[in-house]
Structure formats: C-alpha cells, structure tokens
Amino acid sequence: MIREATVDDIPKLLAMGKTFAAKARLEDHVGYDPDSMAATFETMIKRDEFALFIGEHGAIGGMRAPHPFNYARELVDEVFWWSEGREGIRLLAELEVWAGDAVMRVSALEAVEPERVGRLLARRGYGPLERAFVKVN
C-alpha cells in the first residue's frame, strides 16, 4: 500500500535513502548524511508545498512551486524516487495525483538505468527536456 509518509516513517525512509545513495553513487558527488535526510523528510512531511509518499519497498518525494517561466503554471519537481520492488509506477502515480494539473519534472540518475526509466516515463506521457550535469568543487 502506498500512502503519505509520516514522521514515524523516517527510520524506514533513512534506510531506503542509504541504499539509494549507494546505488546512485552519491558519495561521488555530495555524500549521504542521515541527519540532513531526516530533516529533509520531516520538512517534506510537514509542509504543504512538499509531498512524500512511501510504499513497502520505495518512496517518492516532490515539491511544488510557481513555474519560473510562467507563474500562471505550477511546476512539481520530483526530488527523489526510489523503488526496489514493483511499486515505482504506483509511487509516481501518487505524486502525479498530488500534482494535479501542474507541469511535472522527473529525473533519472545516470547510475540507475536511465534508459529503462526513460522508456517507462515515455509510456506515461513524459518527454525529454534537459540533461543535468554536476561539478563537485
């Protein structure tokens, strides 16, 4: 069952985050700090401009803001999306329901099968928009 996360879910979310960080090779970029993530999860749970959904084997989080190019439209950015089971699409569907008619932006990490994720997203009506690059100073 997929549902909105609560503060009681933070330990489970932290465990998922640690696994995600390892598979996504976040140590190459920013690392993984459980205290930072706990604070992020708590903020996302408590504030209306964020959504955080959890399933048995995954989670998805998003944030809503006016679109920077057109304030008449809202933009929902997926902040993270992780599933080790078959709930990935159902998690995304929950975020889409929360987003309503907002423009949705979803990313696929290079380290986590971006081509497969791209095909999956294309079947849901998403199209490529940009490629992100990271530089660690």
Is residue 94's pLDDT more than 80? yes
Whole-number pLDDT of residue 12:
97
Phi, psi of 54 (to 5 degrees): -130, 145
Q: What is the arithmetic mean of pLDDT over 83-108?
A: 94
User: What fold is seen in the domain 3-123?
Assistant: Aminopeptidase (3.40.630)
| Domain ranges (residues) in the chain | 3-123
State the SS3 of 39-92.
HHHHHHHHCCCEEEEECCCEEEEEEEEEECCEEEEEEEEEEEEEECCCCHHHHH
Provide the 10 A C-beta neighbour count for residue 133.
Answer: 5
CA–CA distance, 4 with 108 (Å, rounded to integer) = 22
Predicted confidence (pLDDT) at residue 86 exceeds the cutoff of 90:
no
pLDDT digits (tens, 9 = 90+) for 71-80: 999 999 999 9
Task: Give the pTM.
Answer: 0.92
Check if the beta carbon of residue 102 is closer than 8 Å to that of residue 74: yes
Lowest mean pLDDT among 1-5, 122-126, 132-136: 132-136
Q: pLDDT, tens digit, for every residue of 12-42? A: 999 999 998 888 888 888 889 999 999 999 9
> DSSP 3-state assignment of 27?
helix
Mean pLDDT of 58-67: 98
